[in-house]
Structure 1
Amino acid sequence: MGDKINARNLMAAAGVPVAPGTTDPAADLDAAVAAATEIGYPVMVKAAAGGGGMGMGVATDEAALRIEYDKVRAFAERMFGDGSVLIERYFPRVRHVEVQILGLADGRVVALGERECSVQRRNQKLVEESPSPAVSPELRERFLAAAVRAGEAVGYRNAGTVECLLVPRQRNLADDSSGSGSGSGSGSGSEEFFFLEMNTRLQVEHPVTEYVYGVDLVEEQLRVASGLAPTFDPDALAPRGHAIELRINAEDPKRFLPGPGAIKTWNEPTGEGVRVDSGYVAGNTVTPFYDSLMAKLIVSGSDRAEAVERARAAVAAFEIAGPKCNLPFHAELLENEEFLSGDYDTGIVPRMR
């Protein structure tokens, strides 16, 4: 599942919706141009072995494709040791929604709800919440069923995530005159979703699922690896309340450029429904050699409104001095009307800037 082209083909064969795209690597520029012409612009140029939001470019026409193809291929060869390139339909306005799955020791695959991950900078997540404010009960049923099929198709065991793009059909047609609603969608209804990739590991944002479903995913994956049954009843999973995770990074809150340095002050917030997962204290130094993530601030509440209120208070109480920090961005986001409405997409951060 680490190869995006192989993963797409496996998912399509299993009946999981995939966006229009190539089933083989675009071997050269001519092949990429031919594929893009068939798929229809705009297209996403992706490194087949890429991940973490790296190795991607958008082309709105052939001239842009010729530039992006060479850039992505060179980057992929340098970073991943594999220059294979995938051409896929690009959707200008989408939401990034993922489903947490757990492949049990007895062979069953269960889904523990979805997470909304559309608050991103440079295709990398900054905020996640569960449940997604965009997902209706009917859509959730389709999401979870597709994720289970994805896990079953590869005999998956342990914790993993099936990531998808959610395309609001009406919004997409209004914003994209080239007709990006075409292709293998998820069926009837006002929205369609497509398989994006599968992360065959526990993800940074797993705590929001743990709060909403009352399941310790770290414990459960260790039980699976030990051949033990889960601590919960897979047939009685149900979400309760709402949880939001804010990634606290050592970076400029406006341009999101890394800002490492020595930590002079580090005071974490506390209170009901507040959890901080961190690896730093005052006196430590955030170096430029690793990821800029310093802490995960997770808040939960009986509903989304309560979770947002607790997030505001926790961000205000979190004191970090020394390295640059994106806490001011989170404070701004938690007052943003688009975010508060729940009707936002992956373009929300650029629109805030």
Structure 2
Amino acid sequence: MITRLLVANRGEIARRVFRTCRSLGISTVAVFSDPDADAPHVTEADLAVRLRGAHPAETYLAVDAVIAACRTSGADAVHPGYGFLSENAAFARAVLAAGLTWVGPPPAAIEAMGSKIAAKRLMAEAGVPVLPSFDVASPGEFPLLVKASAGGGGRGMRIVREVGELAREVASARREAEAAFGDPAVFAEPLLERARHVEVQVLADAHGTVWALGERECSVQRRHQKVVEECPSPGTSAELRARLCEAAIRAARKIGYVGAGTVEFLVKGDRVAFLEMNTRLQVEHPVTELVYGVDLVRLQLEVAEGSALPPVPPPPSGHAMEVRLYAEDAGYLPQSGVLRRFEVTGNVRVDAGVESGSVVSPYYDAMLAKVIAYGSCRAEAVRKLVAALRGARLHGLTTNRDLLLKILTNPAFGAGDTHTGFLGPDGPVQPDHGEERPDELSTLAAALAVAAANRRRAPVLAGLPSGWRNVRSEPRRAHFKEAEIVYDPLPDGVTTISAEPDKVVLERDGVRHTFAIARYDEDGPVYVDHADGHTELTPLPRLPEPAEHVAPGSLLAPMPGSVLRVEVEAGDRVEKGQSVLVLEAMKMEHRIAAPADGVVRGVHVEKGQQVEAGAVLAIIEEGDR
């Protein structure tokens, strides 16, 4: 019987496991790195143990330190969460050797699926359909997908369309795989374009019962990483569902699986091909929980304690959908810093690793939360998600909220016509890279709120209306980086109902609009949230101080990271889109490309150098001079 559980993980999944533990009366232990010392998962646990590591990114991978934390805290069981050590057979063996309960599959099962190359051979033996594998030195056909043998999550994956790209992309995939998984082995397989990514949730006990809890659709991805997941899959027939579940059960039985796991497939038409088996709980497990009415973490704990599952799983009902809310820009580059406000409300489930005031570190995955909706049908689940995202107040960091809304409201998505290229260059949805001009009413609300705040801070005559004067001279204007607006007099047809520093109500053409306003620094951005959108405006000072400027053509670091490779020298001519250098952040490679044709006038970094966001990397002078 488990009495005290240590979660060898952080963030959202640690909080998720703790929630179930509290309902069962199980004491909880968190582990944390230095940057996570004040994180929500640490404060929520009954006990917490600091892990010392040479680098924050490696801290949660220290097997000996985690086992020592179990001894120090009196934990008698370990849940690995997902990521980090969750699919590390050596860690599972260390937990069992220490006399602790391991809430996961047998180490031998983890090992069997740890190498994708070996796993595909095992699955073929079990009668599970697989794609052929190629040696990357002589693949034989294009296009193809290069994949890391030891891991997933998009790391170490590269699409190669012609032989001239092969050597470069294979080398890049090897480096990323070694950085992420400690194993540079890669292989290649045919690229099934416009295929769907469909996975089956399995749960097995130690008494021979294996459940297949339906399928999840996970086709909407960026950088080979899932963004939207749902259960059931809208494009899966009853016959195909039965084939997928049967194949997943065969896969689990082949390796003697116990616990929760996921068998992933590519589906194109009637063709089904095994991708991999994740020997852990998946990020997207909540959609299965809502449709099948189960708590998968509770079932994991009960199976780990030796309980038997009922002979058949519960029947499904309704539809559930999850979106992953990331701190990232339109180019999918992770963002870090202080999350000033995090409020997601509505008839949804929110599994979050952050809260208002949390510091989002550059060392870990940039996912802030999972927002999950359940409905009697797919359309209802989508509607609830759209409402929750539109009503969310997310301040301080750039997020993918607008992209998620574009996906959910896209007609092709609404029709269930999704595939793994949905967010690709030829897909129906693309992120907005351009700067959109804020709408007039939002800008006006920001101007009125700033004026009201200024009056409230006035040292004398603070009770006078904002902008009051005996003789009207010229219109009053507000200057923002993104827009300029006259707010006294108001635009034709607009009336101010009320204007306070934190709330502005305007009426236009008989319709009232309410704007929630937030500002966290006197000179900082103004955040405007309203029913139809979200705007961030940066006030410009009336009398600006001499500012620091960077040289024209400066190429700036979009995030903190390490310079992995510099691919140009001063004097080189470059074309728009050509790779200038490569940054490594969160164990993924990010190519920094030339913004235009030109000549490299200077390179300001070197291989191995750590850079902060905004650092000047190189200077490119446009043209051929």
Assess same fold via TM > 0.5: yes
Show structure 2 runs of 5+ residues with no match.
Answer: 1-112, 431-625
Q: Which residue of 1 aligns with 2:275?
A: 196
Measure, in 2, the Cα distance between the counterparts of 1:145 and 1:262.
46
* Number of aligned positions between the proteins: 315
**Is residue 340 of structure 1 aligned with residue 441 of structure 2?**
no
Q: Secondary structure at the match of 1:277?
A: strand
1:206 corresponds to which letter in structure 2?
Answer: H
190, 195, 199: which is aligned to 1:89?
Answer: 190
**Is residue 61 of structure 1 aligned with residue 162 of structure 2?**
yes
Q: Give runs of aligned pairs for residues 213-228 of structure 1, distance below 5 A.
A: 213-228=292-307
Q: Give runs of aligned pairs for residues 304-319 of structure 1, distance below 5 A.
A: 304-319=378-393
2:131–2:273 contact (8 Å) kept in structure 1: yes
**Is residue 105 of structure 1 aligned with residue 201 of structure 2?**
no
Measure, in 1, the Cα distance between the counterparts of 2:157 and 2:132.
16
334, 350, 369: which is aligned to 1:276?
Answer: 350
Q: Which residue of 1 aligns with 2:230?
A: 129
- 105-114 vs 239-248, which deviates more? 105-114
277, 288, 291: which is aligned to 2:365?
Answer: 291
Measure, in 2, the Cα distance between the counterparts of 1:124 and 1:339.
18
2:116 corresponds to which letter in structure 1?
Answer: K
1:263 CA drift (Å): 2.0
1:33–1:62 contact (8 Å) kept in structure 2: no
Provide the identity percentage.
50
Measure, in 1, the Cα distance between the counterparts of 2:398 and 2:277.
32
**Is residue 267 of structure 1 aligned with residue 267 of structure 2?**
no
Show structure 1 runs of 5+ residues with no match.
Answer: 27-31, 169-190
1:45 CA drift (Å): 1.6
Measure, in 2, the Cα distance between the counterparts of 1:111 and 1:220.
14
1:159–1:202 contact (8 Å) kept in structure 2: yes
Q: Secondary structure at the match of 1:288?
A: coil
Q: Give runs of aligned pairs for residues 213-252 of structure 1, distance below 5 A.
A: 213-230=292-309, 233-252=310-329
2:320–2:381 contact (8 Å) kept in structure 1: yes
1:264 corresponds to which letter in structure 2?
Answer: R
Higher relative contact order (CA 8 A, sep 6+): 1
2:126 corresponds to which letter in structure 1?
Answer: A
**Is residue 208 of structure 1 aligned with residue 287 of structure 2?**
yes
1:92-151 per-residue CA deviation (whole Å, 9 max, x = no partner) reads 221110000001131221100000001111000111000000100000000000000000
Q: Which residue of 2 aligns with 1:302?
A: 376
1:245-278 per-residue CA deviation (whole Å, 9 max, x = no partner) reads 01111112x222112221222222133xx11111
Q: Which residue of 2 aligns with 1:21?
A: 133
**Is residue 49 of structure 1 aligned with residue 150 of structure 2?**
yes
Q: Which residue of 2 aligns with 1:139?
A: 240
Change (3 A) 1:79 1:206: closer
Q: Which residue of 1 aligns with 2:219?
A: 118
- 58-67 vs 152-161, which deviates more? 58-67
1:262–1:283 contact (8 Å) kept in structure 2: yes
Measure, in 2, the Cα distance between the counterparts of 1:235 and 1:224.
15
2:156–2:175 contact (8 Å) kept in structure 1: no
Measure, in 1, the Cα distance between the counterparts of 2:129 and 2:174.
26
2:335 corresponds to which letter in structure 1?
Answer: G
2:316 corresponds to which letter in structure 1?
Answer: P
Structure 1 length-normalised TM: 0.86
1:129–1:245 contact (8 Å) kept in structure 2: yes
1:196 CA drift (Å): 0.3
Structure 1 residue ranges, 4+ long, deviating more than 4 angstroms after superposition: none
1:90 CA drift (Å): 1.2
1:99–1:147 contact (8 Å) kept in structure 2: yes
1:221 CA drift (Å): 0.6
Q: Give runs of aligned pairs for residues 4-19 of structure 1, distance below 5 A.
A: 4-19=116-131
1:280 CA drift (Å): 1.8
Q: Which residue of 2 aligns with 1:182?
A: none
Q: Which residue of 1 aligns with 2:263?
A: 162
**Is residue 322 of structure 1 aligned with residue 396 of structure 2?**
yes
Q: Which residue of 2 aligns with 1:29?
A: none
Q: Which residue of 1 aligns with 2:177?
A: 76
1:41-61 per-residue CA deviation (whole Å, 9 max, x = no partner) reads 222222211311110122223
1:8-33 per-residue CA deviation (whole Å, 9 max, x = no partner) reads 000000000001114xxx4xxxxx34
Measure, in 2, the Cα distance between the counterparts of 1:33 and 1:222.
44
Measure, in 1, the Cα distance between the counterparts of 2:273 and 2:363.
35
Q: Secondary structure at the match of 1:155?
A: coil
1:75 CA drift (Å): 3.1
Q: Secondary structure at the match of 1:349?
A: coil
1:296 corresponds to which letter in structure 2?
Answer: K
Structure 2 length-normalised TM: 0.49
Query: Larger C-alpha radius of gyration, 1 or 2?
Result: 2
Measure, in 1, the Cα distance between the counterparts of 2:157 and 2:367.
22
1:236 CA drift (Å): 4.9
1:281-333 per-residue CA deviation (whole Å, 9 max, x = no partner) reads 21221121111111110100001011111111111122111111111111111
Measure, in 2, the Cα distance between the counterparts of 1:266 and 1:57.
34
1:205-239 per-residue CA deviation (whole Å, 9 max, x = no partner) reads 00000000111100001011000123xx4425321
2:155 corresponds to which letter in structure 1?
Answer: M
Q: Secondary structure at the match of 2:114?
A: coil
Relative to its length, the structure with more helix (as a share) is 1
Measure, in 1, the Cα distance between the counterparts of 2:394 and 2:163.
47
2:213–2:313 contact (8 Å) kept in structure 1: no
Q: Which residue of 2 aligns with 1:183?
A: none
Measure, in 1, the Cα distance between the counterparts of 2:180 and 2:294.
36
Q: Secondary structure at the match of 2:312?
A: helix
Change (3 A) 1:70 1:262: closer
